[in-house]
Structure 1
Amino acid sequence: MKTIYLLCGLLCDDVVWEAQAEALRKEHKADVRIVSFQQDDSIAGMASRVLQDAPEQFFLAGHSMGGRVALDVYRQAAHRVQRLALLDTGYEAATPGEDARRAVLVDRARADGINAIAETWAMPMLAPGNRDNAPLISRILEMVGRMSPEIYAGQIRALLGRPDATPVLSAIACPTLILCGAEDAWSPPERHARMAALVKGSVLTEIPACGHMSTMEESDAVTQALLRWAA
């Protein structure tokens, strides 16, 4: 049986992978394990958490922050990763001034609660055409509401301390899918094209009319891409 890890991004939990997990279990009879990172405050620590319970070999997909964790899992144990999928993510280290920009939202979450920043954080994640999709927005806001300011602060510390993963991308030797929403303003297609250029033999997939939350915004298209990847 295939074991497939699906790694969640910032302020995300199992809901973000719900459709894909169901399809992978049904179509591939896979052991699908979704991991959200609510205890660790470093990318390396998050990656170690995945590896400590993982079988000797497994498939690995990460969305957003989870993609950065997936790259660190590969860095730590490349021989154990059979296939890799990187969705709406990045590979560069933190940029100048990023800590100050992120600190504003962390401070607001601590002062006013996580719900105070949920909409401010979530809405720019979506493609413009999806920003009036009330059921989608409700699911995202409910997901963020299950987090806490402490979880948020820890995940932000992890992101600010993230390593430059360029050497990891260049060393990837397993079949790799690189996917993003065509209207992802947080991690745009151009970045994913650069990533694909670094990973020999990778498959680059762009989802039309879709933003950063691709697994939820265009779940059917992303699911089909992952089913092909897992096959």
Structure 2
Amino acid sequence: MAEPLVLLPGMMCDARVWATQLTVLSYERPVTIAPVCTGDRIEEIASGLLSSLPAKFALCGHGMGGVIALELFRRAPERVIRLALIGTNPLSDTPQEAADREPRMIGAKSGRFEQMLEREILPRHVGGGPLRAQAIADMNEMALSLGADVFARQERAMQRRRDQQGTLRRITQPTLVLAGSEDQVVPLKRQEFLAELIPYAKLGVLEGVGHMAMLEDPEGTTEALYAWMRQPLVLR
């Protein structure tokens, strides 16, 4: 049987964000969508997941899910067969980025979560492509179902995340870095930097796409993941 695939959603997202990929990729292999709402720190979330994941698996994370994927690899590299990172920032927050999270956490906890989503957060997450309106609607639905407390907890976890540059240099498994050309959350240059640090990584860029590649270009994202899953495993 083909190797199992573990998908990790990003901030304010759940299994629904992977709907297209799950439908296509599960024809050939077991696919698990793991929750990322279960801890206050990236390390805590990764530790909790490791006990429930298969002995060996392919791993794909988006945004915060990509950060958790890197922490999973750091802790158990022998269990990760291949790795895909979508819209992922491998660096820790700068002091300014960390400070910028504080008003968002305060706003979410003070009853302004829905207003913040509509005016500040969601428009920045989605590019200007033809599926923009639907992607914003889908993300809004997921975010509201998860709620303000989960959002604030995820912001805090991201604020405290570690720098993973050392981890990147140790990755020799087949790796895909998939970026949207219009990503405002993790700019393309940051993702190009990520790909450069991973030996043998392949960089894919989806034109006209923002941070939410799976919703904005579901077919392009699925095709990229399908090709990544079919890359041969080469011992180096």
- TM-score norm. by structure 1 comes to 0.94
One-letter amino acid matched to 1:25: S
Contact 1:196 1:203 in 2 (8 A): yes
Match of 1:181 in 2: 180
Distance 2:35 2:88 in 1: 15
CA distance in 2, matches of 1:208, 1:152: 28
Which position in structure 2 is the counterpart of 1:24? 25
Q: Deviations over 1:61-99 (max 9, x none)?
A: 000000010000000000000000000011111111223
Match of 2:124 in 1: 124
| 1:214-225 alignment, distance < 5 Å | 214-225=213-224
Equivalent in the alignment of 2:8: 7
DSSP-derived class of the 2:33 partner: strand
- 1-structure distance, mates of 2:182, 2:144: 25
Q: State the alpha-carbon separation in 2 of the partners of residues 53 and 138 from structure 1.
A: 32
CA distance in 1, matches of 2:152, 2:135: 25
Distance 2:132 2:172 in 1: 39
Please list every run of 5 or more consecutive structure 1 residues that lacks an aligned counterpart in the other structure: none
1:210, CA displacement in angstroms? 0.3
Matched, 1:228 2:227: yes
- The CA RMSD over aligned residues, in Å, is 1.3
Task: Report the identity percentage.
Answer: 33
How far, CA to CA, are the matches of 2:59 and 2:38 in structure 1?
20
Count of residues in correspondence between the two structures: 228
C-alpha distance in 2 between matches for 1:71 and 1:218: 24
Query: Which string of whole-angstrom CA distances, capped at 9 and with x for unpartnered residues, describes residues 153-190 of structure 1?
Result: 21111101100000000000110000010111111111
TM-score for the superposition, normalised by structure 2: 0.92
| Cα deviation 1:124-151 (Å, max 9, x = unaligned) | 1111335x84332211111111112221
After superposing on structure 2, the runs of 4+ consecutive aligned residues of structure 1 that deviate more than 6 Å are none
Partner of 1:33: 32
